Amino acid sequence: MLLSLPALHLQTCEHHPLFQLPHRRLGPWCSPTGSPAPLSCETGCGEGSWILVCRLLVPTQVSLLSMEEDIDTRKINNSFLRDHSYATEADIISTVEFNHTGELLATGDKGGRVVIFQREQESKNQIHRRGEYNVYSTFQSHEPEFDYLKSLEIEEKINKIRWLPQQNAAYFLLSTNDKTVKLWKVSERDKRPEGYNLKDEEGRLRDPATITTLRVPVLRPMDLMVEATPRRVFANAHTYHINSISVNSDYETYMSADDLRINLWNFEITNQSFNIVDIKPANMEELTEVITAAEFHPHHCNTFVYSSSKGTIRLCDMRASALCDRHTKFFEEPEDPSNRSFFSEIISSISDVKFSHSGRYIMTRDYLTVKVWDLNMENRPIETYQVHDYLRSKLCSLYENDCIFDKFECVWNGSDSVIMTGSYNNFFRMFDRNTKRDVTLEASRENSKPRAILKPRKVCVGGKRRKDEISVDSLDFSKKILHTAWHPSENIIAVAATNNLYIFQDKVN
């Protein structure tokens, strides 16, 4: 059944994110870029200070990989990269996430696969390889499904991955597509039991009549295997598409957010969740905004924020009431009436929201800017960074090709002093909060030589173009850095460009 919605002050609302209801996806997605200036070298993000550590092609074969197979796969990938100029839709990376130590890096793609990379251990002979990441495990997380009651296809695309802190030898992570969240256990096995009494060495049951002695099973060494097993499946709780998952600081609960609701889950309970936010109106014709992202506070388990397509952020406290429809704090920047245009409502939609590691600040992304908010000041952001203001004159064409609905993410570095976000033409931007300097870098095949130093890129808006500049009319909007991640404690960044994963490291690191 198709639902009708109000025009929301738009003359034409065909492409507005709220009008994706037939597909049960209500939320919009936004994007970035910008003009450069060398960043301070003191932060480890200075001009020319980033080098390519490795460039990896997400493997298309799905299997439980042993360490020996990892080596072979890595060789195949690196040689294949040189001539690989295309990617299927299923190979496109849809999320990137470091674990809490930074030793592992997980990617999810549109084909429902999760690929985990492990950091190369430092050796006396190969000190420079310390920052490299190699394939550790690959597994199929989600499969395509079909909801027969609603005649709705459910994509296998991985929307988000979130790691849990490591408590033992195994690793745990959450992955989600549009409808179902799964908890995965990734563990190593280098021994296998032998000498069963009731089974032979191949696992077949033995004839009880032939068993004349009692044997004690023993563990024998074997080739190292990395196994991924689903431990929990959290399903059937979302009517609309899940856009965010966030692990709580108590590590007992997590939340999942779709376009109209946010649910709170306990890791041990899969058959029920608690609805903590519900903004669905009684009459869907009165719908004016949707939830675009949500995240728990890094230290206070009772606090979380969620952003909306209207450019607002709400801070909620679960101690105040069971249902957090009434926010504790409301963050919104008043719009300048002189800048009001046909596209104002679309470009003000927030595509990503992130707490700083300290928990004092919130960072948000809309289409043209990155903003930093102080939790103690609700009326305006304390910092605003223009990501690609030169696209303001291109909004009409970006609307026509749907790029204006791209949803780009933003990340903090480990000390909250530098922020990073993606852009078009495979550009990504860094902003130093201390010096207020910024830099534009490019993840491209031209820069994919080992240990290649990244050179800052500049975008020419008009007039004479210098030799090292690129014209705004020459930008390739089909190449975009949607997903980025920053190592939790070191200057190592991961940048996803279609089916390629670029990992850069500060050269003084």
Question: Domain containing 361 — which CATH number?
Answer: 2.130.10.10
Burial of 219 (0-12, 13-18, 19+ CB in 10 A): exposed
The answer to whether residue 116 sits within a structural domain is yes
Distance CA 503, CA 60 (A): 19
- Residue ranges making up the domain that contains 333: 50-62+88-209+216-506
The answer to whether residue 177 sits within a structural domain is yes
The answer to whether residue 393 sits within a structural domain is yes
Number of domains in the chain: 1
The answer to whether residue 430 sits within a structural domain is yes
Contact 314, 364 (CB under 8 A): no
HEC sequence for 447-499: HCCCCCECCCCEEECCCCCCCCEEEHHHCCCCCECCEEEECCCCCEEEEEECC
The answer to whether residue 34 sits within a structural domain is no
The answer to whether residue 40 sits within a structural domain is no
The pLDDT of residue 55 is 83
Each residue's pLDDT, cut to its tens digit, for the chain (509 residues) gives: 333 333 333 333 333 334 343 333 343 333 333 333 333 333 445 445 888 888 887 654 333 332 233 333 333 333 333 334 556 888 999 999 999 999 999 999 999 999 999 998 776 565 555 668 999 999 999 999 988 888 889 999 999 999 999 999 999 999 999 999 999 999 998 888 888 888 887 778 888 888 888 888 888 888 888 999 999 999 999 999 999 999 999 999 999 999 999 999 999 999 999 999 999 999 999 999 999 999 999 999 999 999 999 999 999 999 999 899 899 999 999 888 877 888 999 999 999 999 999 999 999 999 999 999 999 999 999 999 999 999 998 999 999 999 999 999 999 999 999 999 999 999 999 999 999 999 999 998 776 677 778 889 998 877 677 777 888 989 999 999 999 999 999 999 999 998 899 999 987 65
Q: How far is CA 364 from CA 20, 139, 176, 367, in A?
A: 23, 32, 22, 10
Residue with tokens 């796969």: 73
Contact 446, 55 (CB under 8 A): no
3-state helix, strand and coil shares in percent for the chain, rounded to the nearest 5: 15, 35, 50
The answer to whether residue 234 sits within a structural domain is yes
The answer to whether residue 316 sits within a structural domain is yes
Distance CA 125, CA 66 (A): 24
